[in-house]
Structure 1
Amino acid sequence: MSLRFTESPNARSKSITTADGIDTFGILNQHSTGNAAYQVGISEDVGTRRYMEDAHSFVVDYAGVRGQGFFAIFDGHAGKHAAEWCGAHFHEYLLDALRTSSSATIPGLVDKRISRLSEESDGKIHSGCTVVTAFLRIEDADGRQSFLPTPPLSPPSPTESGSRSGSESPTEPTEDSKEMCKKAKSKSPASASRFARALKSLSGSSPTLTSSPTALPAIRSPTPPASTETHTLPINPPQSSRRVLYTANAGDARGVLCRAGRAVRLTYDHKGSDKQEAKRITDAGGFVMSGRVNGVLAVTRSLGDSSMKEYVVGSPYTTETELGSDDEFVILACDGLWDITGDQGAIDLVRHISDAQAAAETLVKHALERQTNDNVTVLVVRFKALGSSEFV
């Protein structure tokens, strides 16, 4: 894969287009005019910053299944390159990891590739990015996809079964939020555990708070995966299928679900001000000063940042949530929004807006009007009831 970046210091995401019909054939950032499962809206603004270092991506009918979707936001720092590269290629690495039985992890591959960017640029590229990503998967009641003619995943071993999502607690949750999160998070079915493990491997670190980057599985090959674009029509799952939203984040990019009008945080803010994160860093030999790792970086987890990888790991917080009739939409956004408004405030601001694009634009405008001092990127996914053209 050739490494091509424009001379502009601004991150560039692939242009958003709309398919002529219902099928997008896996093309990145392409809307479907007949998407009966959800609606996607994306809005971004440079804000008061000199350059735009955010990137975004989404794929309709992801992995060749009608109604599935991939959504992500990458918030760059120290340059655009990590965020821009992830925006263009992260979905490919995730799909490759989901379809193979290799022990190589997504972040292991992604981090290694970003490190190579730095090496090949003679030190000119040394950026990193926080990330929030969501994978909407259509599956059977037991977590499998028996409707596929050839299941893309090998059966899990006994050691892969029974994993739990939500192993860490959201930052400063309210009592209501705690209760809602308990209801949102469920045990992973045996065959779905691979998805949780794939998402947990955003940077190659193990998923616990006390993990160390030295716990990385061996990366068998740095060869990049093939494009996710295909000319094959997606498979239509049965109406009895369930929808599960797998989410993961590293850093302070955040995902919030609207469930019957109440905000349910699906992510965890990894910041230097977090006591558990600060302890992990000091235990590794680093320090936190004024809320910054080694006095430099405000986030404690990210992709890239190869010069600080001993302390700034990429092990993400993950959740899996079975969606029901009460689940209306999900907001993915960088800290340019969350520094301005809380979870419930964001939900209340756009719940009455049925159009996902208008909702995303409203949230960005809200952040700008309240003087956010960062780039702002917001992605809204508004769900439709299965088998219905109406939004939840």
Structure 2
Amino acid sequence: MSKTDGPQHDSSTKETGEDKQERPYHLSYSVGVAENQNSKFRKTMEDVHTYVENFGSRLDWGYFGVFDGHAGSQASKWCGAHLHSVLEKDIMDDESRDVREVLNDAFSYADERINTDLGGNSGCTAAVGVLRWEVPENNPNEKIELDEHKRMLYTANVGDTRIVLCRNGHSVRLTYDHKASDILEMQRVEAAGGLVMRSRVNGMLAVTRSLGDKFFDSLVVGNPFTTSVEITTTDQFLIIACDGLWDVLEDQEACDAIKGIDDANEAAKILVRTALKQGTTDNVTVMVVMFENNS
């Protein structure tokens, strides 16, 4: 079994048809999504989301992505339709590679394809998570038991679409807000020959990293911020959302709003309703991934 093989039953164990019916397989996570155009302030919906169960045809893996478009929805729609396929191919081509490197390559490829193949100047912020099972390196046992696997989450983002993990009741941000008001991003833009005026790149774009936005050339880049974290029994859920949520809710407030909610779809709906009530002026898309940690 390779390092990244998902958990599998011992092939020597025999189960009757009745046993299988009594113990059906189910995912160790559940996904809920809610969205709202916010028609009071927005004429169009430019957010797109995608999630894939058993990602890469691997048992209990998952892919989760939220894409927030601007200057049109072409870029966000491209990512929603294609980025997971690009990433899956790259991961499966070489499973020994660090998934964070693969995410960087996939984001860079998406940025290039959007700028080359699509008309217009649309762009999108993006936040992506890949959940998969791995076994510890240098494992001396030829036979790997289920409890020896560890569940790893890899994330990547550009712009201000954000991923927040609720760990033991406390919010842990796994992404970085690439905004022109950020001193490090401001320095990078200026070093590339751009200007930051009124906390916007060349006075126009509030984010400094995105997929697309070819009008800004090398000033706005597609290289993401990436993280890896092991998901354990202390982790309750993951929130992936565009800035329509985060403009009006702090990370911990969002986590607190859905504590005790068992249904992922209901949790996502609560966060969207809360954002609208708090006066957000943007499209709102929220994805909640709840972890089953009873075992």
TM (norm. structure 2) is: 0.84
Shift of 1:111: 1.8
* One-letter code aligned to 1:43: A
**Which residue number in structure 2 is paired with residue 142 of structure 1?**
137
CA separation of 1:143 and 1:35: change in aligned 2, threshold 3 A: farther
Tell me how far apart the structure 1 counterparts of residues 71 and 168 of structure 2 sit (CA, whole Å): 39
Q: Which stretches in structure 2 are left out of the alignment for 5+ residues?
A: 1-23
Q: State the AA in 2 paired with 1:128.
A: G
Structure 1 position 133 matched with structure 2 position 128: yes
Matches within 5 A, 1:37-116: 37-47=28-38, 48-101=41-94, 105-116=105-116
- The partner residue of 1:333 within 215, 219, 241 is 241
Contact 2:108–2:222 (Cα < 8 Å) also in 1: no
Say whether the 8 Å CA contact 1:272–1:300 is kept in structure 2: yes
Match for residue 184 of structure 1? none
- Are 2:203 and 1:262 aligned? no
Give deviations 1:40-81, integer Å, cap 9, x for gaps: 000000112110000000000111221110000000000000
1:228-267 equivalence runs, <5 A: 238-267=146-175
Q: Partner of 2:218: helix, strand, or coil?
A: coil
CA distance in 2, matches of 1:297, 1:355: 37
SS in 1 for 2:219: coil
Aligned residue type for 2:45: M
Counterparts of 1:309 and 1:330, CA distance in 2: 33
Residue aligning to 1:195: none
Partner Cα distance (1:263, 1:143) in 2? 32
Structure 1 residue 117: deviation in Å?
2.7
Letter of the aligned partner of 1:142 in structure 2?
E
2:26 paired residue number: 35
AA matched with 1:108: S
Partner of 1:117: 117
| TM-superposition CA deviations, 1:193-244 (whole Å, max 9, x none) | xxxxxxxxxxxxxxxxxxxxxxxxxxxxxxxxxxxxxxxxxxx983421101
Q: Percent identity?
A: 46
Distance 1:348 1:237 in 2: 36
CA distance change for structure 1 residues 70 and 284 in 2, over 3 Å: closer, same or farther? Answer: same
1:239-291 CA-to-partner distances (Å, cap 9, x unmatched) read: 42110110111000000000010000001000010011001101111000011
Q: Which runs of 5+ in 1 are unaligned?
A: 1-32, 148-235
Structure 2 equivalent of residue 153 of structure 1: none
Structure with greater proportional strand content: 2
Q: Does the 8 A contact of 1:66 with 1:237 survive in 2?
A: no
- Decide which of 276, 293, 296 is 2:204's aligned counterpart: 296
Which one has a larger percent helix, Structure 1 or Structure 2?
Answer: 2
Distance in 2 of aligned mates of 1:327 and 1:143: 26
Please give the TM-score of this superposition, normalised by the length of structure 1: 0.64
Counterpart of 2:280 in structure 1 is: 372
Separation in structure 2 between the aligned mates of residue 134 and residue 108 of structure 1, nearest angstrom? 16
Are the counterparts in 1 of residues 71 and 122 from structure 2 also a CA contact under 8 Å? yes
User: For residues 143 and 51 of structure 1, what CA distance do their matches in structure 2 show?
Assistant: 52
Task: Answer yes or no: is the 8 Å Cα contact 1:258–1:328 preserved in 2.
Answer: yes
Alignment of 1:141-160 (within 5 A): 141-142=136-137
Does the Cα contact within 8 Å between 2:68 and 2:161 map onto a contact in 1? Answer: yes
Q: Tell me how far 1:115 sits from its aligned partner.
A: 1.7
| CA-CA distance at 1:143 after TM superposition | 9.0
- Aligned pairs (5 A) from 1:169-248: 238-248=146-156
Please tell me the residue identity of whatever aligns with 1:62: F
Aligned to 1:229: none
Q: What root-mean-square deviation, in Å, do the aligned CA atoms of Structure 1 and Structure 2 show?
A: 2.3
Secondary structure in structure 1 of the residue aligned to 2:75: helix
Residue aligned with 2:285, SS: strand
Query: For residues 247 and 303 of structure 1, what CA distance do their matches in structure 2 show?
Result: 16
Q: Equivalents in 2 of 1:85, 1:349: separation in Å?
A: 32
Instruction: Tell me by how many angstroms 1:292 deviates.
Output: 0.4
Would the aligned equivalents of 1:62 and 1:69 in 2 still touch at CA under 8 Å? Answer: yes
Per the TM alignment, residue 35 of structure 1 is displaced from its structure 2 partner at its CA by 3.0
1:280 aligns to 2:273 (yes or no): no
Q: Secondary structure at the match of 1:309?
A: helix
Q: Is the 8 A contact 1:65 1:237 kept in 2?
A: no
Contact kept in structure 1, 2:107 and 2:224, CA below 8 Å: no
Aligned length: 262
Query: Paired residue for 2:7?
Result: none
